[in-house]
Amino acid sequence: MGKSMKVHLVIVDPQNDFMGNDDGSPYAVDLRGGTSLIATLPVKGAVSDMRRLAELIKRVGPRLDDIHVTLDSHRVIDVAHAGMWVDAVGKPPTPFTLIRHDDIVNGIWQPRNPAYRKRMLDYTKALESGGNYLLIIWPEHCLIGTWGHNIHIDLMETLTRWEKTELANVDYVVKGTNPFTEHYGGLMAEVPDPDDPSTQLNMDFIKILQDADIVAIAGEASSHCVKATVEQVAKNIGDDHLKKIYLLIDCMSPVPATPDTPDFPAIAENFLKEMAAKGMKLVKSTKFLT
């Protein structure tokens, strides 16, 4: 099917563990036997975001040259999971605990495996000196092979239908498998591991986006993985390409405000303003390609 312009859609981490309902409750699926699968890190409004995104793909699918989907992909023992850490009396941190470089220096938090201490000291120092997010302990999420790692069903069905209709394959981009560095952005980890190419800048992805005429970006969460992905694109794609990027503001939501953590909704709002100032366009999905 001919396309006059190369239109690419980038969907960041549209996975079950991030799915929250509009009332803030986690997305859940009932199974036989009375058990349920429940999102572990729900983003309020994410379910509706994905449904709007699915409707967009149904509407403009024939005009999309390619769809890229990043997949947050973690292990149980991960730098941002409680299983990596203990306090001075051997207790693990609770979700949303911030671990600073000085906390490790002073023995407030330590890796459960003492062999990782120097690596974690170096990591948190690099993280903080780079102006990135502080190390935060998240609930275990997007564990490889689990339901939480899967794409939300409404969007997944739409992506599959698009593949069959357009005789194309969705480009899935896996990130986060290295347990020693956080990997919010789809192009590069927060602190790249020199021995692991999967954590380093993905120039192949950048070149693909440079070749596109229009790039739309959506996903979860606007305060974290969407923000990091878009900022990485902005830093590396070249200023001349920024004006062709569209941020689908009704297909992304921030991590909710949590006590003793940064104001994530405000961070997301400021991020969108900064990207608009760079020349990116903020649009609702119903207005994109109309």
What confidence tens digit (pLDDT) does each residue in 8-24 have?
999 999 999 999 999 99
Average the pLDDT over each of 69-73, 102-106, 126-130, 210-214 and give the range with the smallest value.
126-130
Quick check: 196 and 175 in contact, CB under 8 A? no
State the pLDDT confidence band at 3, using cuts at 50, 70 and 90: low
Q: Alpha helix locations (H) across 221-278?
A: 225-236, 264-278
CA end-to-end span of the chain: 19
Residue type, 5: M
Q: Sign of the CA dihedral 109, 112, 118, 122?
A: negative
3-state SS, 13-70, equals CCEHHHEECCCCCECEEECCCCCEEECCCCECCHHHHHHHHHHHHHHHHHHCCEEEEE
State the pLDDT confidence band at 49, using cuts at 50, 70 and 90: very high
Position 261 scores a pLDDT of 84
Structure-token pair, residue 1: 């099917």
Structure-token pair, residue 229: 């992905």
Position 31 scores a pLDDT of 84
Q: What is the mean pLDDT of residues 137-149?
A: 98
The Cα 37–Cα 17 span in angstroms is 9
State the pLDDT confidence band at 133, using cuts at 50, 70 and 90: confident
Position 113 scores a pLDDT of 97
The Cα 53–Cα 45 span in angstroms is 12
pLDDT, tens digit, for every residue of 150-160? 999 999 999 99
Position 237 scores a pLDDT of 98
Is pLDDT above 60 for 1? no
- 153-166 and 46-60 are packed helices; what angle lies between their axes, rounded to 10 degrees? 10
For the chain, domains (ranges, CATH) are: 7-76+140-287 (3.40.50.850), 82-136 (no CATH)
Q: What is the mean pLDDT of residues 261-286?
A: 96
pLDDT, tens digit, for every residue of 172-190? 999 999 999 999 999 999 9
Is 0.85 topped by the overall pTM?
A: yes
Position 33 scores a pLDDT of 72
Sequence-ordered list of residues with C-beta below 8 angstroms from that of 118, at least 6 positions apart, any chain? none
Structure-token pair, residue 260: 């003793």
